[in-house]
Chain A
């Protein structure tokens, strides 16, 4: 620190998950002084284990791609959906999968994606994955403090925010030129500044754990897809199960449902989990024959938006800015891409010596567009689930749906398939005699619930 400088770092980042460590990598590479304050000591467990290919261009830019490629993470070549609606194969004389509802497979290689030089993403143990990213930021020159939790940021002087953290029993004040909140669903600044708004539509709840020895090929419709992410629809509304390979033998399983349905089980997590998966006998069988490795963990109240994601001397990135729903594995992709977009503006702000909110307009505008596409897509999925697999099955829209599943939404206009889905839903909603009218889900999002910022 030079004499007379009244700040410790150009940028103070709250949280060392994928959003925080990615931003730190970009900024450190560009020569800014940056510190990451992570409340936990890595590695630590975290939900959100399936990546989409939109993270790959970011990994290239920060130079971490080879560490991920060689990190022993299972490759994810695509995604599969299964449903209780599938009739037993013995009575089929044609392939239900290509026509049925709730059943589909897609491979990422079906669609070229700019900046993506491989046909897969990865499934990751987030404990290890996040640690690789954070170490990488440190190697690039970011200062990383683990076990240091920021509780508040003092914005009394917007040109000189001060992070307040506790180290042991000492309260520490860290003055910076700007702060980036990457605190995840803790939403440190969103809560402190009272700009956090619970989503009016989504109130989903997740219960998840890891299993050893789950027979993944037995649950796949095509054995070669066994290591795809699998989404198993349960015959209950808005309820589904994720199946994510973590290693050769370990599989992450999570049940996502409406919070009200979970409450019916009087908050008995274990009973809820087994009752839910029990509605798909083949899934229940496979799970009963596997060994649970971790206690059940729950995630709730995770759907929210922020009235603003940037202001003088601050930006919000990743889950700290917005989270909707885990259905399309968008979390880490939003984290890393929001960090990429924010980094561009922050580096320019640093060059100009001006960190006022006008400097972050590109970031805010681009993220808004990406989030709106995600939000609409997720809304359509819950509102009229039959559409989703019907569109995957339709050659006119299949690639558009894959585009969204690849996470390729930031630098693109609204995909035609999404526009068509909205028109479709409108047609079904408008006509009670429509054959799919009774399939309308009860989660109905309005455009007012889109990005609030």
Chain B
């Protein structure tokens, strides 16, 4: 698969997850891959843990504690960056 297609697939899965779990399947105007999730208050503590569990199950990567920071979770694009980096093994897996 080409890198672009791969990225599209990754973002698509994240967007599906976000719509289903964070927006309760509602169509929210203006929601996209650059929507600031934290500013919009879409991710709270339980959503963080759920999202990390989803990433682990769906993409087979663990998000290390030190990477659970706001810059990595600002929007779906940044989350996709994080998942890609973790999948490429460029991120050290620490507990």
- Chain A residues proximal to chain B, CB less than 8 Å: 85, 87, 91, 93, 96, 98-101, 386, 390, 393, 396-397, 420, 423-424, 427-428, 431, 433-436, 439
Contact = CB atoms under 8 A, between A and B. Distances in A.
A100 B50 contact: yes
A85 B46 contact: yes
A99 B45 contact: no
B53 A427 contact: no
B95 A396 contact: yes
A352 to B, nearest CB: 46
A91 B24 contact: yes
B68 A101 contact: no
Interface stretch (B8-16, B28-36, B69-77): B69-77
A96 B71 CA distance: 26
A93 B24 CA distance: 11
A423 B66 CA distance: 10
B65 interface: yes
Contacts of B87: none
Given A85-B45, A101-B45, A433 B50 contact: no
Nearest to A87: B46
B53 A99 contact: yes
Contacts of B95: 396-397, 420, 423-424
Given A93-B20, A420-B95, A424-B95, A100 B66 contact: no
12 contacts: A96-B50, A98-B53, A99-B49, A99-B53, A386-B45, A393-B49, A423-B94, A424-B95, A427-B66, A428-B65, A435-B48, A435-B69
B17 to A, nearest CB: 11
Interface residues of B, number: 18
Nearest to A434: B69
B22 interface: no
Nearest to A85: B46
B86 interface: no
B5 to A, nearest CB: 27
A79 to B, nearest CB: 20
Contacts of A423: 65, 94-95
A426 to B, nearest CB: 9
Interface in B59-85: 65-66, 68-71, 73
A431 B49 contact: no
A433 B70 contact: yes
A351 B33 CA distance: 76
B43 A435 contact: yes
Closest 8 CB pairs of A and B: A420-B95, A99-B53, A433-B70, A424-B65, A433-B69, A427-B66, A435-B68, A427-B65
